[in-house]
Amino acid sequence: MNTQSEQRAPESADAYSTEGSYVHEGEEYTRDTAYIEDRITRDGRDGWPVEAGRYRLVAARACPWANRSIIVRRLLGLEDAISLGLPGPTHDARSWTFDLDPGGKDPVLGIERLQQAFFARFPDYPRGITVPAIVDVPSGGVVTNDFAQITLDFSTEWVDHHRPGAPALYPEDLREEIDTVNRRVYTEVNNGVYRCGFAGSQQAYEAAYDRLFTAVDWLEERLRTQRYFVGDTITEADVRLFTTLVRFDAVYHGHFKCNRSKLSELPVLSAYARDLFQTPGFGDTVDFVQIKRHYYIVHKDLNPTQIVPVGPDTAFWRTEHGRERLGGSPFGAGTAPGPVRPGEEVAPGHGA
């Protein structure tokens, strides 16, 4: 078993930034996908055993990758086991900051920047300071920022701390299919919108655009006759798709030039996304104000004026979707999560 001192950070020549460079002229956008791969498990094989109250999830509402972890934590009822730190929507080249908290410091970790948790464990950490990240509260050091694995481990390793009635988001009999669709959604949709937005040439942009909307058409057809992405209930696959869809009209359509059509113009996908948004655990984690501030202020190469759009009208998300006619039940044999915990609510006027 590795100890904390024996583990090493991934190697990279990247600067200390949250997402790395954005647009490189003449190049296709390529995401840096090397993360700290340590896992928090029941057997503690990486040196990080499941332990209620020990870890803090740091997850900015603005970020789609972090939004996933907030949704899954809430659906499974892990609020008492894993605390939540919420950086603000903007950052500089160094790090996400806790500028929304009193004194500009996370109240549990006592730090101003997430970067401090990465440096507490890896003083020469060479990669981007990304969210979501899980921090070991006693040591103040980051454990992992492997966003894809974090939510799977919430489902499979933290089962002893799930709320009664927690849904099965990663059921064993559907894992192969979930993994298959998740791979396509990640490459073509979740990351596909970024390939459009940060393309460094017309050719790269058009290729990314075609790939994205080929996948969008596939999703429209797949979801035409089934309420949820895989099986008859909400799974990890729905969570991963939702966080891109909910940002589509507010950001990706204009800011990233994904403008063949708005989500609201796609009859199947828009109804599917509204169905999820209106399900407890999804829409109540979405902060449209923070989402827009993040993309339009941080991405100065795409939006040098840093002007944040006023629209679109978010009332769309509360309109009727009609997806119940397709059958299925959002939580299967489980139940919906209860009210959002005090202190974790989306600010008034920031949702839909």
Torsions phi, psi of 215, nearest 5? -70, -40
Torsions phi, psi of 141, nearest 5? -100, 150
The catalytic position among 63, 228, 258, 272 is 63
- What pLDDT does residue 10 have? 39
Please tell me whether 96 is known to bind a ligand.
yes
- Cβ-proximal residues to 9 (8 Å cutoff; 6+ apart), any chain: 36, 121, 122, 124, 125, 126, 127
**What are 210-242's pLDDT values in tens digits?**
999 999 999 999 999 999 999 999 999 999 999
- What pLDDT does residue 33 have? 74
- What pLDDT does residue 7 have? 39
pTM of the full predicted structure? Answer: 0.93
CA 158: distance to chain centroid? 19
- What pLDDT does residue 32 have? 73
Helix (H) or strand (E) holding 83: strand 83-85
Residues in the chain predicted with pLDDT less than 50, given as ranges, are: 1-21
- What pLDDT does residue 94 have? 87
**What are 68-113's pLDDT values in tens digits?**
999 999 999 999 999 999 999 999 888 999 999 999 999 999 999 9
- What pLDDT does residue 23 have? 67
- What pLDDT does residue 34 have? 82
The answer regarding whether domain 173-326 maps to CATH 3.40.50.300 reads no
Examine the residue annotation and report whether 194 is marked as an active-site residue of this protein. Answer: yes
CATH fold of 1-166 = Glutaredoxin (3.40.30)
The catalytic position among 194, 205, 252, 295 is 194
- Residue-range domain boundaries for the chain: 1-166, 173-326
SS3 content of the chain, % helix, strand, coil (to 5): 40, 5, 55
